[in-house]
Structure 1
């Protein structure tokens, strides 16, 4: 993000920055604490230069101001070197509107309620595989596959495309993290194959637009009245949001915070690095963003999380870590690998 005349005393470009190289979340939290208190707007030379915001109010204000801070230049850091603009994430204003309208139409509570039992069945089956084995990696196995099964139901994919999606999602995310752009392209190409097949099928046999994204997209027109291009047209969330790197680009010079935050300046969340379900202001978390580009699928994401927790609790599972967890690096802070042992408790 661009800003004007902000002098940053903290050099975040050094290779030994804990937030960049550490696999220990406590060390990462410690560095975040330092930045929030001493230099809430941090400049980094990596990935062609960017500014990272660490204070709640700054993040909220930037996300809410879609006129000054746009997504069309760069929406994720690091950006795709191919320069692809995928709607709606990298679209603003009137270009963004029809895609968002089509998305929102398929994410209404009544339709998501119909999907819930299907998602629960997927969660039961995938968790059952780990329980039968007695161990497994909840991130790279369950966590990587379950979201793809959710997408299968939401997008009404057939078995072939569902399998291709499940095989492509994890390689896509992991290769993006490591900068393996050849692998990113291969996985991305799979997504486009799925999208082309789905859109072609819906052009011949449309489904209810409230229940199918491709059919919903085919109803929309761009700001010139032309059909859209046939492209793939609470506390857990607050603390463990995987993508903290969504970006905005300022269209004019803006000063955000100062270089030093007063010691007694109030914070939005007390003890922000601790998991606390009793926070009175938990609904103000920004894990799904804010403003025009807030997460369209936040209701679906909440339902996914609820389903998984319910399945774990219903199956009376005891578990323990069985190896070294692996964490993503800044700007992400999520766990990407967690080997675990499982045991189902006997009924009393």
Structure 2
């Protein structure tokens, strides 16, 4: 258990080491998941606002209503101090995730412009080809690692098509992003910088090219960003433009392997559901919503408060991170009946928070659902 301050409730710390996950058997992983879910249940019931000394000290929310209220109140719960835990060991801040409005707005507007339904439909054609090509080797040999051999590679192609990168970028992006995530999880600042620099090189090259060869801003994120202006009418700063593209490269690489792995693991155990979706593909969108609720790839994002704030009797002070645990919210029995069970076409599935809420909801949500 984590050490705690007097009067605050403890919560269990989940180990994130890649080596530990690789070495763990399926039975052990299942036990760990059950332990985490049980801890969420305990906290929601007896200590919905918990404190731990881990990560330098932070608060944790586990009830749906508290998490939703905080996510929607971006004036009080700000992202510019701490937006994730553990944070980048170098302390860097990139838009739009680490910016608050109004500084956040032009970056978000630019990215949203390139993810309208018409563009998503066009991307679907190319992405289906990539999916089939990546799955074929696994199907031929009858086995494989769906996370590393398919999902991580496919995510790189999604980024490559969305950002209009050259085809040779996809395999390089997959390898570099994976190494960067592993270094970050280990809090290895040197290797985090090494692989992050490679991602920055990709981002700078894209921005340099778009300055020379601008594209349709509704089809190209970098070109869209170059059109945006600050609230004072000034062009966006170069360092933040590069940072935004660099962040876009990474966030789309982390979640898909986790999400697709969770989906495939579930379907391997639920043959009836698998067959149902094969026979009626029209059910897949509803199934995806329930999978996102159950297997939220980002357990939560963090905020700090802009002013001293009281939540359920606990005083939260500015500067101290408070984590909005979306994975706990999505399993809150006060909101979702039988929260740990897959239920196709839940009547209130639109309330799931796997993509967050408010100004900082997942910008890539349309791509993720596709």
Taking structure 2 as the reference length, the TM-score comes to 0.74
Matched residue, 1:327:
none
Q: Check the 8 A contact 1:6/1:255 in 2, yes or no.
A: no
Matched residue, 1:283:
350
Q: Check the 8 A contact 2:97/2:360 in 1, yes or no.
A: yes
2:369 pairs with one of 293, 302, 306 = 302
Matched residue, 1:34:
42
- More displaced stretch, 240-249 vs 168-177: 168-177
Matched residue, 1:96:
104
Q: Check the 8 A contact 2:89/2:187 in 1, yes or no.
A: no
Residue 62 to residue 279, structure 1, CA distance change in 2 (3 Å): same
Cα separation, 1, equivalents of 2:364 and 2:333: 31
Cα separation, 2, equivalents of 1:69 and 1:115: 35
SS of the aligned residue for 2:350 comes to helix
Tell me whether 1:242 sits opposite 2:289 in the alignment: no
SS of the aligned residue for 1:121 comes to helix
Matched residue, 1:77:
85
Cα separation, 2, equivalents of 1:132 and 1:258: 58
- More displaced stretch, 24-33 vs 116-125: 24-33
SS of the aligned residue for 1:183 comes to helix
1:79-228 aligned at under 5 Å gives the runs 79-228=87-236
Cα separation, 1, equivalents of 2:170 and 2:230: 29
Q: Check the 8 A contact 2:333/2:339 in 1, yes or no.
A: no
Q: Check the 8 A contact 2:81/2:304 in 1, yes or no.
A: yes
Q: Deviations over 1:169-215 (max 9, x none)?
A: 22222222232332322221111101110111010111100000000
1:256 pairs with one of 281, 294, 311 = 311
Matched residue, 2:10:
11
Residue 271 to residue 18, structure 1, CA distance change in 2 (3 Å): farther
Cα separation, 2, equivalents of 1:255 and 1:236: 33
Q: Check the 8 A contact 1:105/1:209 in 2, yes or no.
A: yes
Q: Check the 8 A contact 1:18/1:31 in 2, yes or no.
A: no
Cα separation, 2, equivalents of 1:197 and 1:140: 26
Matched residue, 2:258:
none
Q: Deviations over 1:51-87 (max 9, x none)?
A: 1111111110000001100000001101112121111
Aligned-residue CA RMSD (Å): 2.0
Matched residue, 2:338:
271
Cα separation, 2, equivalents of 1:54 and 1:272: 14
Q: Select the structure with the greater relative contact order (CA < 8 A; seq sep ≥ 6).
A: 1
Taking structure 1 as the reference length, the TM-score comes to 0.78
Q: Check the 8 A contact 2:64/2:335 in 1, yes or no.
A: yes
**Pairwise CA distance, 1:94:** 1.2
**Pairwise CA distance, 1:220:** 0.6
Consecutive unaligned residues in structure 2, runs of 5 or more: 17-27, 245-288, 315-331
Which structure: greater helix fraction?
2
Q: Check the 8 A contact 1:40/1:53 in 2, yes or no.
A: yes
Q: Check the 8 A contact 1:58/1:257 in 2, yes or no.
A: no
Consecutive unaligned residues in structure 1, runs of 5 or more: 260-264, 304-348
SS of the aligned residue for 2:54 comes to coil
- More displaced stretch, 209-218 vs 273-282: 273-282
Q: Matched residue pairs, number?
A: 289
Cα separation, 2, equivalents of 1:211 and 1:66: 29
After TM superposition, which residue ranges in structure 1, 4 or more long, deviate above 4 angstroms?
18-22
Q: Check the 8 A contact 1:18/1:27 in 2, yes or no.
A: no
